Amino acid sequence: MEKMIAKVLISEDTLKKRVAELGQQITNDCRDKDLLIIGILKGAVPFLADLIREIKVPLRYDFMAVSSYGNSMRSSGEVRILKDLDSSVEDRHVLVVEDIVDTGLTLKYLKENLARRHPLSLKIVTLLDKPERREVEIHPDYNGFVIPNEFVVGYGLDFNEMYRNLPYVGVLKPEVYQK
């Protein structure tokens, strides 16, 4: 599996350090708030698991699954909710945890959808941001890393459901996804 990785973009140690910093920043910003954290399946799971251990305020978490890609590498532009929340966001302080923002279509849709459900506050934390790919105006409130427009996998990010378990973020060799 690792022979398909062209290079390590973000090491395991660098990820751990930045996730701890994000957890501290969110803790400082959310004192006296009861947080509902929404993890976006499947890619955000490793990030969410590490992040919630670094946030030192009362919290609950739930999950949503959304898709704008289907089985393709390119966004279709149409966002679908595949799994909705089990709990209400109304009158709650909500933090959406996303693995990556590239076109911004999915996150913009999610933010608008959740805002219509009347949370007290709605913020977004993303591990990775690819501003070169942005098609819509969206800015996460907390951002782990700005990365170049390369095909990345690992730490939850996948290609055909593979590579999610890598402990780092790596760039996939083009011959793997250009078949």
Q: Which residues are catalytic?
A: 102
For residues 7 and 27, the answer to whether their CB atoms sit within 8 Å is no
Q: How far apart are CA 37 and CA 119, in angstroms?
A: 12
| DSSP structure class, residue 11 | -
DSSP-assigned letters across all residues of 96-145:
EEEEEESS-HHHHHHHHHHHTT--SEEEEEEEEE-GGG--S----SEEEE
